[in-house]
Amino acid sequence: MQSGSQLSTSIDATVPTAARMYDYYLGGKDNYAADRAAVEELDKVVPSTRALALNNRRFLRRVVRTLAAEYGVRQFLDHGSGLPTQDNVHQVAQGVDPAARVVYVDNDPMVLVHGRALLDQNEQTAVIQADLRDTDGILSHPDTARLIDFSQPVAALFVSVLHCIPDSDTDGPRAVARRVAERLVPGSFMVMCQLVSEDPRVRDFVTGFMDRTTQGHWGRVRQEKDVAELFDGLDVLEPGLVEVSTWRPDTEVAPRQLTHEWIEFGGVGRIR
Ligand SMILES: C[S@@+](CC[C@H](N)C(=O)[O-])C[C@H]1O[C@@H](n2cnc3c(N)ncnc32)[C@H](O)[C@@H]1O
């Protein structure tokens, strides 16, 4: 993928985006009427999505804390980071070690504006606008070069974002994951989860709905087996690939997902 391609620099409040819809699900304020209307429409078919989003965010928090506290990771490259919310990756990682470094990557111009105000808080954190498929552009970006030492382990995060990109031999989830993993030293980690459903009606409906709603800025609801393929060649940490609320839960007090038309599915793989 060409560096800088397909990046929008202006914010259009009338076309919903994945970032702002997700923000609305999490109870944030960085969303518009069009985003809220799309969420309400989607809820008619997949009513548990708010619980799913909240649990996904909790998973992200647990993964970052676990990798920092138990596996000594001090560098995080967060692809599809989303709008700032509570317990952002740098806050969790720097809660373990203030020297931890984080590069946030998102293609949504609103993430750049709000992110720079709220996430770019210290010299160990940066927000860059890029398409997550642009591996060369991201890895050679001056902020990445300044913050990430590629001779040391890195955790590359792809949390709840791979469903936003379509299948492609060169730029689909498998190709991107492989490309990034090849650039990281052994002992690095790939954190990957995405929306899946084993019901073809849900996959078709939601994929079509999100594609129309976001005007083509969407990929595909996949199946658990598709996510499993992303981990080929990696050592998957316990408990394996799971619905993310069950990945090393630290409390029983999590929003219960009452229906399971779709789930957020994935885990953590260590690079050999
Ligand atoms: C559902 S949010 C997930 C946010 C965060 N990773 C989390 O799990 O809490 C997906 C994010 O990915 C971003 N995104 C979607 N497609 C992208 C792409 N091709 N390149 C970079 N970011 C992308 C969206 O703008 C949005 O902020």
The residue count of the chain comes to 272
Burial class (CB in 10 A: 0-12, 13-18, 19+), 260: middle
Q: What pLDDT is stored for residue 4 in this prediction? A: 47
pLDDT digits (tens, 9 = 90+) for 81-114: 999 998 999 999 999 999 999 999 999 999 998 8
Q: What pLDDT is stored for residue 116 in this prediction? A: 84
Supply the mean pLDDT for the chain. Answer: 94
pLDDT digits (tens, 9 = 90+) for 118-148: 776 678 999 999 999 999 999 999 999 999 9
Q: What pLDDT is stored for residue 2 in this prediction? A: 47
Strands, E, within 18-109: which ranges? Answer: 75-79, 101-106
Low-confidence ranges of the chain (pLDDT < 50): 2, 4
Q: What pLDDT is stored for residue 254 in this prediction? A: 82
Nearest 5 degrees, angle CA 131-CA 136-CA 141? 80
In which domain, by residue range, is 219 found?
4-270
Ligand 1 within 6 A of CB of 22: yes
Residue 180 neighbours by CB under 8 Å, 6+ apart: 77, 79, 135, 156, 190
Find, among 77, 109, 112, 80, the residue nearest to 93 by Cα.
Answer: 77
Ligand 1 within 6 A of CB of 106: yes
Burial class (CB in 10 A: 0-12, 13-18, 19+), 39: buried
Structure pTM? Answer: 0.97
Centroid of ligand 1 to alpha carbon of 211 (angstroms):
15
Provide the CATH number for the domain around residue 179: 3.40.50.150
Centroid of ligand 1 to alpha carbon of 18 (angstroms):
7
Domain count, the chain: 1
CA separation for the pair 177, 175 (Å, rounded): 6
Ligand 1 within 6 A of CB of 80: yes
Q: CA torsion, points 213, 219, 221, 223, in degrees to nearest 10? A: 170
* Buried/exposed 177-216: b ≥16 CB within 10 Å, e otherwise: bebbbebbeeebbbbbbbbbbeeeebbebbbebbeebbee
CA separation for the pair 102, 74 (Å, rounded): 8
